[in-house]
């Protein structure tokens, strides 16, 4: 059997493989947690009906049966696959470019700033791909009479509201996703580094399986933190995307806040933090597993002990 050709770090093939890893990482995990996301979105958008996590699951099962728990899976799969491709692919690209721009020594010394700008730049682009599918997903999940899924929901928004219907939630989405992604990547990189500082051996002395264990634990911790920070903006995205009409973003946001208040921004907090912690841990695990399969190193700097 021919030996797999080694991929040169930071080559076009390297960034391509990182992008494919992102597709698998985000697309598969977000689709897998569709039932939790469904209850979370309804707790945010329909709090009078969905008063709690378990009550929400029971309500969906009574109303739509087991198939109701996967409502919105198609826009979720497509949207988050596109987002993952851009999020991870561009993160690796921008991290490399920004590190070269400031120089090797400064890139290590100020690595948190490099991670922050690289992840923010990547997420800004990724959300442009995600936003239309997020709009369809939320509308289908929180208003069952609107449509069955992607095939009928997408053309319905386009015919009724045009491009604005897909992108009216882009600013709240950036407000949710960019801080989330900055923390997701900075916290992950730092927690990985902390693990290897505390462990008795250097990173390269551990097996790939052991390194992937560190990856999952670090991702879970990072996910809990960023899920908490980004939750109010996530609630606003759910509320905005549920509504139809052509109100401007500012007017619509003020109207929603007047209705729900500060406390309402935290509806669905528990299921989302659980979901995001699990999701982020699995995302990093899948991403790094694909990198290992492709002959690439796991994510995280080699720490100086």
pLDDT of the residue at 4 = 59
Could you give the CA distance from residue 24 to residue 16 in angstroms, rounded to a whole number? Answer: 13
CA-based nearest residue to 7, from 296, 286, 299? 296
Asked if pLDDT for residue 293 goes beyond 90, the answer is yes
Residue 113 has a CB neighbour count (10 Å cut-off) of: 14
Q: How far is CA 93 from CA 11, 74, 177, 274, in A?
A: 10, 28, 19, 30
Cβ atoms of 145 and 139 closer than 8 Å: no
Reported pTM: 0.82
Confidence of residue 250 (pLDDT cuts 50, 70, 90): low
- What number is the average pLDDT over the span 108-112? 94
pLDDT of the residue at 241 = 66
Confidence of residue 253 (pLDDT cuts 50, 70, 90): low
Cβ atoms of 216 and 289 closer than 8 Å: no
Confidence of residue 297 (pLDDT cuts 50, 70, 90): very high
State both tokens at 104. Answer: 């090797």
Cβ atoms of 116 and 95 closer than 8 Å: no
Higher per-residue pLDDT: 255 or 54? 54
CATH superfamily of 12-293: Mitochondrial carrier domain (1.50.40.10)
pLDDT of the residue at 159 = 92
pLDDT of the residue at 2 = 45
Q: What is the end-to-end Cα distance of the chain in Å, rounded?
A: 39
Q: Percentage of the chain with pLDDT > 90?
A: 56
Q: Percentage of the chain with pLDDT > 70?
A: 90
Cβ atoms of 279 and 29 closer than 8 Å: yes
Tell me if residue 303 falls in helix, strand or coil: coil
Task: Tell me the pLDDT tens digit for each residue of 258-283.
Answer: 777 777 777 777 777 777 788 889 99
The full set of domain ranges for the chain reads 12-293
Could you give the CA distance from residue 107 to residue 111 in angstroms, rounded to a whole number? Answer: 5
């Amino acid at each position: 059997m021919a030996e797999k050709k080694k991929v040169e770090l930071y080559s076009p093939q390297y960034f391509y493989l990182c992008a494919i890893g992102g597709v698998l990482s985000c697309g598969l995990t977000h689709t897998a947690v569709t039932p939790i996301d469904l209850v979370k979105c309804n707790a945010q958008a329909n709090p009078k009906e969905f008063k709690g996590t378990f009550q929400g699951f029971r309500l969906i099962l009574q109303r739509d049966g087991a198939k109701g728990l996967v409502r919105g899976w198609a826009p979720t799969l497509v949207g988050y696959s596109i987002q993952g491709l851009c999020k991870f692919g561009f993160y690796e690209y921008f991290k490399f470019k920004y590190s070269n721009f400031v120089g090797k020594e400064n890139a290590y010394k100020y690595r948190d700033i490099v991670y922050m700008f690289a992840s923010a730049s990547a997420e800004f682009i990724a959300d442009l791909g995600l936003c239309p599918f997020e709009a369809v997903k939320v509308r289908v999940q929180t208003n069952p009479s609107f449509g069955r899924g992607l095939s009928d929901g997408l053309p319905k928004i386009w015919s009724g509201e045009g491009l604005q219907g897909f992108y009216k939630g882009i600013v709240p989405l950036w407000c949710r996703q960019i801080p989330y992604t900055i923390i997701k990547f900075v916290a992950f990189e730092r927690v990985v580094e902390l693990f290897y500082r505390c462990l008795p051996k250097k990173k390269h002395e551990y097996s790939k399986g052991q390194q992937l264990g560190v990856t999952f634990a670090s991702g879970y911790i990072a996910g809990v933190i960023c899920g908490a920070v980004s939750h109010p903006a996530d609630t606003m995205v759910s509320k905005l995307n549920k509504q139809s009409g052509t109100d401007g973003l500012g007017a619509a946001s003020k109207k929603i806040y007047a209705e729900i208040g500060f406390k309402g921004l935290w509806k669905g907090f528990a299921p989302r933090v659980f979901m995001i912690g699990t999701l982020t841990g699995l995302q990093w695990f899948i991403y790094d597993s694909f990198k290992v399969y492709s002959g690439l190193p796991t994510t995280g700097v080699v720490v100086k002990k």
